[in-house]
Amino acid sequence: MGMSVTISVATEQDAEQIFRLQYLCFQSEAALYGNYRIDPLVQSLDSVRQELASDCVFVARLGEEVVGSVRGALTEDGAAAIGKLCVHPRLQGHGIGARLLRAAESALAEERGAKRFRLFTGHRSEGNLRLYRRVGYETVGTSKGADGVPMIVLEKPASTYATTA
């Protein structure tokens, strides 16, 4: 398969595609926890639009189609929280998630001055955990999501992000 997937900053026009993609991608996550009220599934289109306006949002495109997305925002303590990383099920396993993550990390460090990156993922989400650990994240604790799912908190210092695209 010719993987001519490009990574770019998301625009307002991408809101609906991101909204639909997120809904599709997080079905498997919801099934894993038997919880269909997880945040990415109950988020409104308006809320996605607000995040596009304020946060650091990247998309992966295959032609005109948005096939992946990630969001990042600076938190009070100088860390950047990265979340809602998703790649279309038919395109998983091609390194798109890692490319999206790298794009978000670079932008958050260089443009927004993040000192470290923080991710939250469900305790059973093996695929996510493998990816995050492979790109240098380490578990720093646990927390419970607003939806009741036990989350693993991972972090890495911003100084370690891969500057090579």
Domains (ranges, CATH) in the chain?
Answer: 6-160 (3.40.630.30)
- Distance, in Å, from the CA atom of 14 to the CA atom of 17, rounded to the nearest integer, reads 5
pLDDT in tens, 51-108: 999 999 999 999 999 999 999 999 988 899 999 999 999 999 999 999 999 999 999 9
Q: Residue 8 is inside which H or E element, if any?
A: strand 6-9
pLDDT in tens, 148-158: 888 999 999 99
- Residue pair 44/30 in contact (Cβ under 8 Å)? The answer is no
Lowest pLDDT segment from 39-48, 56-65, 106-115, 156-165: 156-165
- Distance, in Å, from the CA atom of 133 to the CA atom of 52, rounded to the nearest integer, reads 27
- Residue pair 96/87 in contact (Cβ under 8 Å)? The answer is yes
Residue 43's SS3 state is coil
* pLDDT at 164 > cutoff 50: no
* pLDDT at 163 > cutoff 80: no
- Distance, in Å, from the CA atom of 36 to the CA atom of 80, rounded to the nearest integer, reads 27
